[in-house]
Amino acid sequence: MTKRRAVIAGGGIGGIACGLALARKGWEVEVLEQAPELKEVGAGIQVSPNGMAMLDRLGVTPMIEGTLFEPEAIELRLGRSGRRIFRLPMKGYAQARWGNRFIQIHRADLHDALAQALRAQPSAQLRTNAKITGYVRERGGASVYLERGDRVFGDVLIGADGVRSEIRQQICGADRARFTGNVAWRAVVPVDALGDNAPPPFGVIWAGRGKHAVTTRVKGGTHVNFVGIVEQDSWTEEGWSIPGRIEDALADFGEWQPCLRAVLEASSGLFRWALYGRPPLAKWCDGPVTLLGDAAHPMLPSMAQGAVMALEDAVVLAEVLDQDSDCVRALQTYEAQRKPRVTKIQQRSAANASMFHRHTGLAQLATYGPMAVASRLSVGAIHRQQDWIYSFDAGA
């Protein structure tokens, strides 16, 4: 029997994971990345138990054990005063409640592990400097055309090419991603450079008026990862990652807790990027062509589910394609299974961003007061709100 062939546009976490999932099921896979080298930029990410279940299924978990960090807890605090609103246990608790760990890791470390696993698959090929200009449906599949003139055919074409996806524009029509009114800062700093001013060694969300920050540990716990989200009226910069000035970051967060100021002052590389989104798409598929990850459902990082949803997409898509010899029908099944879940998480992520940015003391009291009481009475009361997310195993 001839092996079926998948062409994947985009070599980020979602595209590489999808290629790996399909290759492990016997597919021929070609991943096309437009950048001249396979390189993941960005900051630390949090991988919740549903994401760890996907990494287990992909056989990648052992490859990241040396670079992940498992926090004891997740906390919500006020950025200025440092007052703790709640503390949710994670280490040990996550495994018992949701069946897997909750970890923190640098995005590049996860991406490297996925790419290494993909390259080890004999039926997989990863090509860089391969910018896609469009696709055409053909009998039995689809072909993509590359900027340098190449044509690449597959039984299926998967657009995992991000929020500015070329594949999505052809499926859904020309559109522009919408600036969400939020700009993010990021920095990664060695813990040793901070002395006694290091943020707590677990995940902390620091909430404030019109902004919030998140501090985590990456590189096996040896580095602090800082992400700060600030409301801003407009964004005119070109590019995804713009070098930032320490004085500008301090203007946003310098009056918050000393440990946050210390991270910013110790940073040798501060970057900013705009957060873009779009409403849920009417459709993801065009015959043998579909979308995955941010190309299908970009979301704010306020639930730490963007990369995790891409991992879920990858595993679900591979499963349905493996179970149905009719690729077009399988892609429709994938969309029907995934769209309700990711749409709900998109909406919750936007709501969380607003919740962390309460603009008045009264609004903060009304929001955080009940949360503080609930966490003291029963940690499970808050954890129950995460059960539908964290208990999900897309490959089960």
pLDDT of residue 97: 95
The pLDDT, as a whole number, for residue 240 is 62
**Is domain 5-41+108-176+278-354 in CATH 3.90.950.10, yes or no?**
no
pLDDT tens, residue by residue, 119-134: 999 999 999 999 999 9
Q: Which of 276, 196, 195 is nearest to 234 (CA)?
A: 276
d(CA 79, CA 259): 10
| Residues forming a β-bridge with 205 | 76, 214
**Side-by-side strand order, sheet with 289-291:** 124-127, 28-32, 5-9, 156-159, 289-291
Q: What is the pLDDT of residues 31-61, one digit of tens each?
A: 999 988 887 666 899 999 999 999 999 999 9
Q: How far apart are CA 305 and CA 150, in angstroms?
A: 35
| Partners of 226 in the β-ladder | 187, 215
Q: Record the tokens describing residue 89, joined without a space.
A: 């246990």
Terminus-to-terminus CA distance in the chain, angstroms? 27
- Backbone phi, then psi, for 153, in 5-degree steps? -105, 145
- 306-354 residue pLDDT tens: 999 999 999 999 999 999 999 999 999 999 999 999 999 999 888 887 8
Cα gap 376→371, rounded to integer Å: 9
Angle, helices 306-323 vs 49-58, to 10°: value is: 50
The pLDDT tens digits for 348-384 are 888 887 888 888 888 888 888 887 777 776 667 778 8
Q: How confident is the model at residue 196 (pLDDT cuts 50, 70, 90)?
A: very high
CA 17/CA 294 separation, integer angstroms: 14
| Domain residue ranges in the chain | 5-41+108-176+278-354
Tell me which residue has tokens 């096996």: 220
- Distance separating alpha carbons of residues 308 and 367, to the nearest angstrom: 27
Confidence of residue 396 (pLDDT cuts 50, 70, 90): low
Query: CA-CA distance, 197 to 280, in Å (whole number)?
Result: 42
Beta strands (DSSP E) in the chain are 5-9, 28-32, 44-47, 73-78, 84-89, 103-106, 124-127, 132-138, 141-146, 151-154, 156-159, 178-190, 203-208, 211-218, 223-231, 242-243, 271-277, 289-291
**Pair 32, 146: CB distance under 8 Å:** yes
What's the pLDDT score for residue 43?
Answer: 81
Q: Are 146 and 130 in contact (CB under 8 A)?
A: yes
pLDDT tens for 197-253 read 999 999 999 999 999 999 999 999 999 999 999 999 888 765 567 889 999 999 999
Contact 108, 236 (CB under 8 A): no
Those residues whose C-beta lies under 8 Å from the C-beta of residue 292, and which sit 6 or more positions away, are: 14, 15, 18, 158, 159, 160, 310, 313, 314, 317
Looking at residue 58, its pLDDT comes to 98
pLDDT score of 327: 97
pLDDT above 90: percentage of residues in the chain: 74
Q: What percent of the chain has pLDDT over 70?
A: 96
Distances, alpha carbon 215 to alpha carbons 259, 263, 264, 349, 367, in Å? 10, 10, 11, 18, 21
Residue 169, CA distances (Å) to 156, 163, 322 in order: 17, 10, 27
How crowded is residue 134: how many other Cβ atoms within 10 Å of its Cβ? 12
* DSSP output for 346-367: HHHHHHHHHHTT--SHHHHHHH
What distance in Å separates the CA atoms of residue 55 and residue 62, rounded to the nearest whole number?
9
